[in-house]
Structure 1
Amino acid sequence: MFKTTRHLLLGSALALLGMLPATAEIPANLQESAFWQSEVDSGDLPPAAERVPQDPLIVDLTAKGREFGEPGGTLRTMVTRSKDIRQMVVYGYARLVGFDENYEIAPDLLAAYENEGNLKFTLRLREGHKWSDGSPFTSEDFRYWWEDVANNELLSPSGPPDFLLVEGKPPVVTFPDEMTVVFEWEDPNPNFLQSLAQARPPFIYRPSAFLKQYHEKFADQEELAFQVEDARVKSWAALHNKLDNLYKFDNHELPTLQPWLNASSGKKIRHSFVRNPYYHRIDSNGVQLPYIDVVEMEIVAPGLVAAKTNAGESDLQGRGLAFRDASILKKGEADGNYKTLLWKTGVASQIAIYPNLNFEDDGWRDVLRDVRVRRALSLAIDRNTINQALYFKLAQPGAMSVLPASPFYDEENAKAWAQYDIDAANALLDEVGLTERDRDGIRLLPDGRPMELVIETAGERQEVENALQIVTDNWRDIGVDLVMRPLDRDILRNRVFAGNTMASVWFGWDDGIPQHHTSPAYLAPTDQVFLAWPKWGQYYQTGGGSGEPPDMPEAQRLMELAHDWEIASSDEARAAVWTEMLKIHANQLYAIGILNGAPQPIVVSNRLRNVPEQAMWAWEPGAHFGVHRPDEFFFAD
């Protein structure tokens, strides 16, 4: 009944593809980094042979069709919010296991793993692997997180993260030796490995040697009390949580396993990240990655990203750019010494309208919950005109569903209720009983109010506002008055979560290219972030503590199916779950997709190498640049 993971069965083949260590020892051709040479010469840093693991991950760039690079240089990029320095963890994409360029899961920080029927996962660490401060990365870091953080009521009041709970039960976690960690469940947890590979990973380990200084179980009590007072926080737990920011990446003292470490303290306009001297990846020429010495991340106003990129002030930029910027970026290529690539996007829909089925207004909620209304609204959108006006016909009009790159793609789902048909839309609204209109031709709700459908946006993407202007004209033809209301992103989300928003606009599902190993939980009411059912998501996330239980049959069926996927014992059974869930979404239109596959401008310095000409820009799976391995990018000069 047990099966061994594919990577173990094909270990030698994957090593040839540059995805697994080709050797189990430090290569004889290992080179010292010029960036750290003076520290090595002064004795402040051990030589490279003592810094890398005994079995480093050796990358054969030739097998991947890439060039070998020379270390050095500073890469400039931009973000629009100070908290987005966390993108360095996203782009760095050092994970226990991660997606390769084919979106298959492979070991990264781990030397190997064993999967026995999705019930028992044995994680094998690399001998001699170290954190960025030189402390050992061992099973103690996993034990510390599991026993002293995740199961400490003061540090983690809600207990271990949800993805580790199967049928409501946590795993049994054991630590047979320094290099081995075992997670074992009574029932299958097929989503475990994919969760570890996420853009925002659920760190199931911590730099224990560093954090024990701030834990009441291990620290000197007098020193800890002084640290708490000095930090002006209420307790040791508050101090520990403040410093324990592996994802936020804003504590420059916290050790990391990422390719670059934060070299800046406090809030700045420009943050610097320098190469991690203990990084575990090496190219087959003996050069320790990353090739680039320093990443400089500047925080700029959202409206300035395209202009500053156009002026040649970024060496690698995707975030903050939209397709509407492509023409001006193309014009600036010669003077800016860069090229503009157009990558595909991996979201299920570039623009999607989310009617809030949990809207607090009873009259509107009843109307929005009638699937005929949602179908009518979808049929009354001229997607081809939007595609022509916004994307020069380079996007794909259609409903929100998975993309052709997914094995679950179904053209019928992609076209469901997405043809432009004003007559059919009007007929559906008449069938609902919304036949009365005011003198301006706007339909009236059963309580007599005009059918003014307020759609709130984050106000960050001009193409959203432009698309809604076209939809406004379309919907007037069916007697619906669209009112657009731009808001700050955080305000918008809080209003949706509270049930105060009638409808909103956002991207579609982050992962538009799910595979057999992808959990379909995001298709079910398991998270308030899906803006059509925030209250249902809250109910699930809080175990019934807040929100509302799903009270529509199709939504309840989605919850059943998500659970069926979790306990399924074969890919065939999991595929059947995906198929039914996608069909429900196609019929119910919880989100009204407009188009997908809109090109994403990626600006790359002419000096930068190994950036793919054609690729996928996706948060999940892929971590934007992460899956394309920026630690392998280098400057040609």
Structure 2
Amino acid sequence: MFKTTRPLLLAAAFSALCSLPTLAATPTPVEGPFWQSEVSAGNLPPIEERLPAEPLVVDLAAKGREFGTPGGTLRTMVTRSKDIRQMVVYGYARLVGFDQNYEIVPDLLASFENEGNRKFTLRLREGHKWSDGSPFTSEDFRYWWEDVANNELLSPSGPPDFLIVEGKPPTVSFPDETTVVYEWDDPNPDFLQSLAQARPPFIYRPSEFLKQYHEKFADADELAFQVEDARVKSWAALHNKLDNLYKFDNHQLPTLQPWLNASSGKKIRHNFVRNPYYHRIDSKGMQLPYIDVVEMEIVAPGLVAAKTNAGETDLQGRGLAFRDASILKKGETGGDYKTLLWKTGVASQIAIYPNLNFADDAWREVLRDVRVRRALSLAIDRKTINQALYFKLAQPGAMSVLPASPFYDEENAKAWAQYDIEQANALLDEAGLTERDKNGIRLLPDGRPMELIIETAGERQEVENALQIVTDTWREIGVDLVMRPLDRDILRNRVFAGNTMASVWFGWDDGIPQLHTSPAYLAPTDQVFLAWPKWGQYYQTGGEAGEPPDMPEAQRLMELAHDWQIAKTDDDRQTAWNEMLKIHADQLYAIGILNGAPQPIVVSNRLRNVPEQAMWAWEPGAHFGIHRPDEFFFAD
């Protein structure tokens, strides 16, 4: 999608546009039954007045899908109250989004133009409306850019990082109601991909609603009353509290997603009803989504599999693991569902992250020795873990990209991943860790036993099971693994503060990067990569917190990420990707155990258009999002 010559750019843009069914004659809209009574009562305009002039017409036949019948309530579960935000993830209404081939195509936008990755012209759909009926126009983009992102009280750190190129923000203009232009002096090849993320950086806001709470637009006395009534300190605090397009917890905030939040406050069950102004229709004129209501129940993590087995959900992936597959299969008849096994898109199903920024100086020096990390990797019996946990259905290997990525290299995938106790012991000896205590555990230079404490989120049984096997094999190299389960938020805060020696999590979310994917997540740009939280903090805060990368390979990763950013050709970008992946394979910042473990997806026998074979991935794909739940429907 990101070509460097104008003819190729125009060809790519033309190709993307021609793939959209909106170029065909728009079918006559059909009023579905859900909103009919509201239309008849005069409380809601008829369907032809609610849709954009050119809605996005979905050609289901071309996708091998059935035309659906509108109606029904889809039940699903999450394990935390704040995870109602998954409705934004699953809904996957984005300015641009990934199609099933992971190409970037317009969605909320009618079209876009990319000129050399420097100038992006975004064209909106004429007549598009928010869920409350207010117009969705370039004013919503202007409001966010000028009155939110560049307002010091609302956004103290300024516009988000993905919009800052070579230290400079873009020039943003709004030629008319349906056109927004972003322009940089230097290339920003990550711009469109960022807009398509599972958690999108919303570069627009429902301005008509939020202006009521902005000092520049609201009546001063009314705003003061609202601030006092909400028991917050300032208008900015009130505005930020209400401005939650991703959190999805403000039922009054208009949305562009297929379903809108119809529940206020904290509840065990949240209901989301179809958006009467949603911009997509099928080629027969029926407005999507087909399903009227999504009911999201909040349950304890340990109950998801049991309640699924009992038939208490219609669509479930989150909260299920491969270890649940056998019990789920047994419950299919009584629960009236089927269990699918989708591929997973994370770079590693289980990865150990030695914390290179650990606060203990002696341990930090040991963990920074690549020979130690290589020895720890070589002393993991991945085949046994695969057999015990996944019946050999996963792929043992180091953490790298998956075969579905054009950057896949088998050498990287196998680097330091063979089971070799002899070589592991030799590496630790070479690193100077030759002394042992009476139990055979190696001693650190300061005389303490080499007890490597690995902290986990305590959410996945397979992690604990895998670490039990690792515990046995690490003892053969004189390392005592101590496992410490914690709450997820506590774990992350400890890692970010430098208090965790090592932790376990998934590998990179995006294990299938494409040519248009930024490799920034391979460099120390984010504290979320648990091997270098302090380096990530340093980058994210512009040097105000954390520590600058002080290892040559990490510094090189930063250089290569910048090289990709300013590259003028796909070949140059691929070169940057290849070297960065090679560095990770060599340095083992994360010790991957295996990848490709199947993800159980439970689907009601009544539910249609859910793919039998698909990819379960956060990036790219937004879990169910890329498979378009607005096209799912109940057969009865």
- TM-score, with length taken from structure 2: 0.98
Map of 1:212 onto structure 2: 211
Q: 1:11 Cα deviation (Å)?
A: 4.7
Q: For 2:457 and 2:249, how far apart are their aligned partners in 1? A: 25
Q: Does 1:22 align with 2:50?
A: no
Give 3-state SS (helix, strand or coil) of 1:320's partner. coil
1:112-123 → structure 2 map (5 Å cutoff): 112-123=111-122
Q: For 2:45 and 2:27, how far apart are their aligned partners in 1? A: 17
Kindly provide the CA deviation profile for residues 47-90 of structure 1, in whole angstroms up to 9, marking residues without a partner as x: 00000000000000000000100100000000000000000000
Q: Does 1:390 align with 2:389?
A: yes
Q: Does 1:548 align with 2:547?
A: yes
Map of 1:193 onto structure 2: 192
Give 3-state SS (helix, strand or coil) of 2:35's partner. helix
Q: Does 1:9 align with 2:10?
A: no
Amino acid at match of 1:94: A
1:152-551 → structure 2 map (5 Å cutoff): 152-551=151-550
Identical residues among aligned pairs (%) = 87
Q: For 2:146 and 2:528, how far apart are their aligned partners in 1? A: 30
Amino acid at match of 1:538: Q
Kindly provide the CA deviation profile for residues 235-262 of structure 1, in whole angstroms up to 9, marking residues without a partner as x: 1000000000000000000000000000
Q: 1:607 Cα deviation (Å)?
A: 0.1
Kindly provide the CA deviation profile for residues 259-301 of structure 1, in whole angstroms up to 9, marking residues without a partner as x: 0000000110000000000000000011000000000000000
Kindly provide the CA deviation profile for residues 134-171 of structure 1, in whole angstroms up to 9, marking residues without a partner as x: 00000000000000000000000000000000001000
Q: For 2:173 and 2:82, how far apart are their aligned partners in 1? A: 35
Q: 1:7 Cα deviation (Å)?
A: 4.9
Kindly provide the CA deviation profile for residues 368-412 of structure 1, in whole angstroms up to 9, marking residues without a partner as x: 000000000000000000000000000000000000000000000
1:95-110 → structure 2 map (5 Å cutoff): 95-110=94-109
Q: Does 1:635 align with 2:634?
A: yes
Q: 1:358 Cα deviation (Å)?
A: 0.4
- TM-score, with length taken from structure 1: 0.98
Q: 1:433 Cα deviation (Å)?
A: 1.1
Give 3-state SS (helix, strand or coil) of 1:113's partner. strand
Q: For 1:256 and 1:5, how far apart are their aligned partners in 2? A: 32
Conserved 8 A contact 2:17-2:111? no
Conserved 8 A contact 1:7-1:14? no
Q: For 1:396 and 1:11, how far apart are their aligned partners in 2? A: 35
Conserved 8 A contact 1:191-1:518? yes
Q: Gaps (5+ residues) in structure 2? A: none
Q: 1:337 Cα deviation (Å)?
A: 0.1
Q: Gaps (5+ residues) in structure 1? A: none
Give 3-state SS (helix, strand or coil) of 1:118's partner. coil
Q: For 1:156 and 1:81, how far apart are their aligned partners in 2? A: 27
Q: For 1:567 and 1:324, how far apart are their aligned partners in 2? A: 44
Q: 1:10 Cα deviation (Å)?
A: 1.4
Amino acid at match of 1:128: G
Amino acid at match of 2:257: Q
Q: Write out the 4+ residue segments of structure 1 that deviate beyond 4 Å after TM superposition.
A: none
Give 3-state SS (helix, strand or coil) of 2:82's partner. helix
Q: For 2:352 and 2:615, how far apart are their aligned partners in 1? A: 23
Q: 1:33 Cα deviation (Å)?
A: 1.4
Give 3-state SS (helix, strand or coil) of 1:140's partner. helix
Give 3-state SS (helix, strand or coil) of 1:245's partner. coil
Q: 1:27 Cα deviation (Å)?
A: 2.4
Q: For 1:406 and 1:307, how far apart are their aligned partners in 2? A: 35
Q: 1:118 to 1:253 in 2, by over 3 A?
A: same
Give 3-state SS (helix, strand or coil) of 1:399's partner. coil
Q: For 1:27 and 1:65, how far apart are their aligned partners in 2? A: 20
Q: 1:442 to 1:57 in 2, by over 3 A?
A: same
Amino acid at match of 2:27: P
Q: 1:8 Cα deviation (Å)?
A: 2.6
Conserved 8 A contact 2:193-2:517? yes
Give 3-state SS (helix, strand or coil) of 2:504's partner. strand
Amino acid at match of 2:385: I
Map of 1:49 onto structure 2: 48
Kindly provide the CA deviation profile for residues 554-611 of structure 1, in whole angstroms up to 9, marking residues without a partner as x: 0000000000000001111000000000000000000000000000000000000000
Q: Is the deviation greater in 396-405 or in 428-437? A: 428-437
Q: 1:602 to 1:532 in 2, by over 3 A?
A: same
Give 3-state SS (helix, strand or coil) of 1:545's partner. coil
Conserved 8 A contact 1:23-1:55? no
Q: 1:22 Cα deviation (Å)?
A: 3.1
Kindly provide the CA deviation profile for residues 530-569 of structure 1, in whole angstroms up to 9, marking residues without a partner as x: 0000000000000000100000000000000000000001
Q: 1:9 Cα deviation (Å)?
A: 2.0
Q: 1:13 Cα deviation (Å)?
A: 4.0
Q: For 1:93 and 1:420, how far apart are their aligned partners in 2? A: 41
Q: 1:5 to 1:321 in 2, by over 3 A?
A: farther
Give 3-state SS (helix, strand or coil) of 1:35's partner. coil
Conserved 8 A contact 2:16-2:105? no
Give 3-state SS (helix, strand or coil) of 1:4's partner. helix
Q: For 1:8 and 1:366, how far apart are their aligned partners in 2? A: 51
Q: 1:23 Cα deviation (Å)?
A: 3.4
